[in-house]
Every structure is written in C-alpha cells, then in structure tokens.
Amino acid sequence: MDNSSEGKANSIEEVVNVAEFEAIAKRKLPKMAYDFYASGAEDQWTLRHNKIAFSRIRLRPRVLVDVSKVDMSTSVLGFKVPMPIMVAPTALHKLAHPEGELATARAASSVGTIMVLSFSSSYNLEEVAGASSGLKFFQLYVYNDRKIAESLVVRAENAGFKAIVLTGDTPRLGRREADIKNRFTLPPNVTLKNLEGLMSVELDESKGSGLEAYASNTMDRSLSWKDIGWLKSITQLPILVKGVLTGEDASLAINAGASGIIVSNHGARQLDGVLPTIVALEEVVNAVQGRIPVYLDGGVRRGTDIFKAFALGAQAVLVGRPVIYGLASDGQAGVEKVLKLLSDELELVMSLCGCCSVDDIKPSHIDRASDFFSSRL
C-alpha cells in the first residue's frame, strides 16, 4: 500500500483514494481471510512490483485542449460500458462480507460495468446472475473431471453470462506462504458454491493450505491451447484467455480462436518473479497487432494507472483486491465507492492530459525515456 495513505481513514466516508480501503479491511477481517486476499506467492516480489511498475511511468500531458466534455465509455467484446474498469474474478467474497458476490454484482451493475465472477465464488453463478441485471462474465478453471467445466459453462450461458474467461496460468496453485502458515480453510458458512452437487468441496488443512491441497488434487494439468477449441464446441460465448504475459502466448491465443486476452499474473499469486502486468502489456499488444482486444489485470490503484495502461495498448482494466477491500469495508457501498474513485480519477487525468475520450489516449502520452523503459525493472 502507498504509505502516504495507510491508516488515515476509519470509515468509507473518510476514504479519499482506493489504497485507504485496505487498512479498513485489514482491521475488519480475520487474519486468515485478510492474508488470503492480500498475500502473493513466495517472496511476493511480483506483488510489490505490480504496483511499483506503474509509478515508474511518466506522463506527457497536452495542454490547451477543450476538455469540457470527457467521455470515458468504451466497448468490451461489443458491450458498451461507461468506464473501462471491470471487476476482476476473485474468490470467496463471502469471506469479506456476508452478501459476498451478490453485493459485488449489485455494485458493478449500479455503475454500469462488467463483473467477472470467479469459478471459486461463495454464491453460485445462478444466484449472482439473479442479483442484478448488469453484464457478467464467468471465469473458468478446468478440473480433471472435465464434465464439471462443461456443466458450469452451460449453466453460465443459460444464466445470461456474456463471456467465458479461461484462466490459463493455473495447472497448479502457486505457493502462497501466508495460507500455508495460517492453514487456510473455510469457515462453516462459506463454500465453493458452484461445485455443490458436482464434487466434494472439503478442504484438508492438516499439512498447510487446504486450498492448495484441494487444487493439487483437482486441477487439470493437461489443459493446453487445443482446449480452446473444446470450449468453443460447448458454448457460443466468446472465450477470453486470462494469464497471458508474453508475445508468444498472445499469438497462440489468437491462433487457438480466443476472442480476447487478459494480461495478468494472477494478482502475483501464482509464479513469483514474473513480469508485472504493466511491463508485460506492451509486448502482448505488439504481438496481437489489433486482431483481438487486450485487457490488463493487476496492480491498478489509481486513475493514472488506467491511463498508462491505455497508453500502452490496453482496452480496459480489471481490478481485484481493491474491490474486495471495498466489500469488506462496507459491502455494496464500499465496492461502489472503489469503482467511483477510480472512475473519477481517470476522468481527471484524462482532462489534465488533454484527452476527451479513451481513444485519445496514445503512446505519445507517456515518456519513453522514463525509468520504466530504460531499466524495465
């Protein structure tokens, strides 16, 4: 967290930036739940640098531009949204607030944006679909028993979800040492709700993280690019591939028939030492060459971060932990404030940089001589 913001706000009425929600959430949540959301893999280098990397990019504002009207709207897979900020898939929202994903869905709908529901949600996809009329995508993991994935994809399509987000970076769960130390397990009122009736959802924490042990026994390690075709054979929904960090994989995603790419390192929870997402973005964008949309997930905490992502070729961003911290702080109202703060900050930076629409944000708005480009971390 930005040290200048830490600990200053005691309630969401006092919050003036997204970073301040984390301190409120940390005070409210049990240690096991907070650590589950906040921690990254191993030494957490990538977790830190997901945010640090943004700070090393310098802006080149243009002045004396008529910015009396600033339009932040954009299109995501053909769906018009008023701002280019989506809710990233994050697991088990009920650990943060009793209304869990239901509150998050209502908040996303209230501001007109898209929520990507986690496969590992604590309310099932039908319940979340019914919580609001807003646009929703469904994130998919693939387990050894592929009939589970097939069932969930069909259920998501029938429930009105508009895209499938295939998570491609999780043949195994990353080593999250905070969960191991805490012997992470689920309280009695929280479960992996989408899997009820399909398989056992009991977590065994006797040797460390119960979630890691569960994933080790269930994840399909044979999942590969050819399986995009398998998914397309069972659904008419567009397939986004989440977890791409290289130009090579971006090209493979296009060849496999993906409808879009989410540049993501899983919130730094999988492989430590990989590139921060904002660093990997430009390589992916250059490989894609406009053939499919590219979105960015990871480290976004300010409107300036969103602006920088657009300048490097992203067409929208996803936010994860800030949404969880807003949810823990004050349920639906907390999530709404997180999204509104980011939206307001983006509108401000666009105005100060002379951009009336997101299409006006160009590579020329960032300084190629800044530390970010000279050292690449």
Name the helix (H) or strand (E) containing 74: strand 74-76
Tell whether residue 93 is among the known ligand binding residues.
no
Tell whether residue 43 is among the known ligand binding residues.
no
> Which is the catalytic residue, given 49, 93, 97, 266?
266
Tell whether residue 300 is among the known ligand binding residues.
yes
In the residue annotation, 365 being an active-site residue is answered as: no
Tell whether residue 139 is among the known ligand binding residues.
yes
Tell whether residue 48 is among the known ligand binding residues.
no
* Token output for 89: 């898939």
Tell whether residue 176 is among the known ligand binding residues.
yes
Counting Cβ atoms within 10 Å, is residue 348 exposed (0-12), middle (13-18) or buried (19+)?
Answer: middle
Tell whether residue 30 is among the known ligand binding residues.
no
Tell whether residue 56 is among the known ligand binding residues.
no
The backbone torsions φ and ψ at residue 14, rounded to the nearest 5 degrees and listed phi first, read: -90, -10
* C-alpha pair distances (Å), 248 with each of 168, 251, 283, 293, 317: 14, 5, 9, 16, 21
Tell whether residue 365 is among the known ligand binding residues.
no
**Dihedral of the alpha carbons of 70, 86, 260, 161, in degrees to the nearest 10:** -120
Tell whether residue 264 is among the known ligand binding residues.
yes
Determine the distance from the C-alpha atom of residue 329 to the mean position of all C-alpha atoms in its chain, rounded to a whole number: 19
Name the helix (H) or strand (E) containing 46: helix 45-55
Tell whether residue 134 is among the known ligand binding residues.
no
CB 12 within 8 A of CB 21: yes
Angle at 91 between CA 288 and CA 39, to 5 degrees: 85
* Token output for 124: 């099932």
Tell whether residue 298 is among the known ligand binding residues.
yes
Determine the distance from the C-alpha atom of residue 124 to the mean position of all C-alpha atoms in its chain, rounded to a whole number: 19
Tell whether residue 332 is among the known ligand binding residues.
no
Tell whether residue 31 is among the known ligand binding residues.
no
Tell whether residue 301 is among the known ligand binding residues.
yes
CB 346 within 8 A of CB 356: no
In 3D space, the residue among 183, 236, 239, 186 whose CA is nearest the CA of residue 209 turns out to be 183
Tell whether residue 297 is among the known ligand binding residues.
yes
Tell whether residue 299 is among the known ligand binding residues.
yes
Amino acid at 215: A
Residue 186 CA to residue 209 CA, distance in Å, equals: 10
Residue 190 CA to residue 185 CA, distance in Å, equals: 10
CB 259 within 8 A of CB 239: yes
Binding residues for glyoxylate, by number, are 141, 167, 176, 266, 269
Give me the active site residues, please. 266
Binding residues, by number, are 89-91, 118, 139, 141, 167, 176, 242, 264, 266, 269, 297-301, 320-321
Binding residues for FMN, by number, are 89-91, 118, 139, 242, 264, 297-301, 320-321
